[in-house]
Amino acid sequence: MGPGVAARVAAARILDAVLQRGRSLKATLAATLPELADGRDRALVEAIVMTALRQRVRYNHALDHWLDKPLGAKDGLLRALLLAGFAQLELHLPAHAAVAATVDAARDLKRTHQAGMVNALLRRAQREGLPQAEPRLAWPAWLAEQVASDWPQQADAIFAASAQTAPLWLRVNRRWITREDYLGLLREAGIEAIPDPALADALKLDATLPVQQLPGFEAGLVSVQDAAAQAVADAFVLAPGARLLDACAAPGGKAAQLAERDASLRITALDVDARRVRRMQDTFARLRLDIDTRCADAATPDAWWDGQAFNAILIDAPCSATGIVRRQPDVLLHRREADIAALRDSQSNLLDALWPLLAPDGTLVYATCSILRAENAAQVAAFLARTPDAALQPLDARFGHDTGFGQQRLPGEGGGDGFFCARLRKVDPASVTLPA
């Protein structure tokens, strides 16, 4: 293969797997990227794939209008390559090299007879630009309608933000370095970053780069974590030595952040997936944190709980992921309407199963990366209605819009992801007053 061709072939194969065969983007990237030896190629492939998925409605619209004959059912890989080609032009790669490498990739994919068409379409896109389209059209109709119903004033902004590239957010490990000192390391490396005034450990980079280029990453000085996710730690006020459960912990960012803030906390981090648990353990080792990490189903505590109550519990519950579409654009391809009911049942089960594990006067934080009220405010309202000793505690404006039963950040607000957070305290049932 010529220079850059392998990266274009890889991008096309990933897009084909996700778009045509219903594969998970995260899993397909994890399986494919290690096959590319050069880190720059891995970063390029990921950027191409993410851009093509976010903008697929626009790119497909161009193909539908520019092709005299529509692509057939057997042309999925060719369509994926064309989407990858369009993405490169909008990533502002050198156009000649991008077009040439993509045309060569068509030949490598045994599409030699269509290489001329690939060249012509990419040249046209280069000359004319690609058409615009309403960001809402990328969403399944039922889901777009739900978002518009839940957030009528903000829906257009949600759809638009979810189609944009997210900034790179860093969390500085305050156990080993201050944020100001780490900013100095970034400047020495020629990397520009902006501190977030509302989040003590957060830095925002507008340009995405491989983590290996971050100073001190392997030494545990810094982690990648979105601003909205970092805010969750501020929902806790913990006494030294407090016992905390992170019930659905993978990939481990929130447990790690709390441990970085207070080494005396006794944290148990659970996840039901053994592979994700191993990755968490690797993360904690890199950060030099001592966290009890277990593979277990949080919803069945009889199988793992030692009977000692927790002072605090975090449930970052499985959800529709509608708040992180810009980071996981395949959510819009895979999510089905029936999923929401199943997810709500799972969330309810976690709340009911874990509340008895919380000590009197303890705090439970319920969080999701969803923007759907059914998974968030409605879920918390229902839990409060059936749980006499649970009381909602207010959170401030850092956590987003007040829904009456928790706070909701929407995609793009403050540069962060969409995220819901509610804080509950275990109290004497006689003292509870439900919100209006």
CA angle 410, 414, 415 (to 5 degrees): 90
361, 427 Cβ separation under 8 angstroms? yes
Quickly tell me which residue has 């005396």 as its tokens. Answer: 264
Is 369 a catalytic site residue? yes
Nearest Cα to Cα of residue 66 among 112, 138, 109, 118 = 118
293, 284 Cβ separation under 8 angstroms? yes
Structure tokens at 285: 């080792």
CA angle 132, 135, 138 (to 5 degrees): 110
Quickly tell me which residue has 């793009």 as its tokens. Answer: 412
Distance, in Å, from the CA atom of 378 to the CA atom of 400, rounded to the nearest integer, reads 17
Distance, in Å, from the CA atom of 79 to the CA atom of 30, rounded to the nearest integer, reads 22
Identify the active-site residue in 248, 295, 319, 369.
369
332, 50 Cβ separation under 8 angstroms? no
CB-count exposure of residue 79 (10 Å: 0-12, 13-18, 19+): buried
| Catalytic positions, written as ranges | 369
